[in-house]
Every structure is written in structure tokens, then in C-alpha cells.
Amino acid sequence: MFKPSATKMITTLLVIMLLPALLSATDEAVDFPHEYRQWQHVKSMLIEPGHPLHAAFGGLHHIYANDLAVQGYALGSFPDGAVLVFDLLEVNSAEHAVTEAGRKVLGVMQKDAARFAATGGWGFEGFAGGEPGQRVVGAEAATACFACHQPQAEDDYVFSQWRD
């Protein structure tokens, strides 16, 4: 007769007990946008030393939008499924030229009014170095991201504007 070991039984019980928490955390997680470099480029910006946000966001910013986010810029309100990517890169300045260097962070805003109701319908995440497994925001989205985006409520919490 088969008798499972105590270790196997404890492991099985832990998985059963933790599974709901793991699933709910996944439900709230913002997806990593693997193909974002193929999306529409919205704009670029360089934050240099002396700017008030330089310590946190100094470097070269590129903003990308998926097709639904492009529609959102045109409409002034973003539909569920819209994704915006804030690609923040280090810069090198030499010989009167500024060039991009290593990726600092990949910021993502994902619109889903039901999942992210507490943060204006947007989910927020940052991926250190642009790596899918390197989440840096997680459960802190309300204070780490949304608090700064709240003044942009009239623009659906989005800072960037479409550049003609």
C-alpha cells in the first residue's frame, strides 16, 4: 500500500493553501510587453541633471503605445487593453552627442477598469533593466505610480500626449 511521506503531504498542503494567493497575485499583475518595440513610438524625452525628477527618472525616455493605446490618445480616453510603455535608458554624453546606454527600467501601464479599479483603471509595473522577472512595483502601485498620475485624471491618468 502507498503511503505518502510527511514531506510530500506537507508540500501538497502548502500548495493547496497558497494557490489562491498565488492566483490572485497573478490576476493583479501587469503583463510584461514582450513586443513593445514593434508598437507605435509616441515620443521621446531626455531628463538631464538639474531637473527635479532626475534622481528617479534621469535619462532618455521613449514612450510606446499598443494599437488600443493609440486609439486612446485619439479619443482622449483609453479603452481596456490599452498598454503604454515607458522605456527609460541611461545616457552617454560625449563629443557633443547624447546616446542611449543601458536600460534602467521598463515602466508599464495596462488599462483594465475592473482589475485595477483602485488605481484609475490602470495597472502599473516597473521591470528593472527591462527584464520580465525583475518586477519593482508589485503591490506598491498605488503609492509608487498612481499617486503621481492622479493629477492627470483629466487625461485618463496619462502624462504623455500624442505628438503630431
Which CATH number does the domain housing residue 132 bear?
3.50.70.20
Three-state SS across 40-67? EEEEEEEECCCCCCHHHHCEEEEEEECH
pTM of the full predicted structure? Answer: 0.81
Report d(CA 86, CA 91) in Å as an integer: 15
Give me the pLDDT at residue 66, please: 98
User: Alpha helices of the chain — where are they, by DSSP H?
Assistant: 6-28, 54-57, 67-75, 141, 147-149
Q: What is the mean pLDDT of each run of 10 residues along the chain (164 residues)?
A: 42 33 54 96 96 95 98 96 98 95 97 97 97 94 93 95 83
In this structure, is residue 1 part of a structural domain? no
> 141 is in which domain, residue-wise?
32-155
In this structure, is residue 27 part of a structural domain? no
In this structure, is residue 14 part of a structural domain? no
Coil, helix or strand at residue 77: coil
Amino acid at 90: E
How far is residue 149 CA from its own chain's centroid? 13
Give me the pLDDT at residue 27, please: 56
Give me the pLDDT at residue 8, please: 40
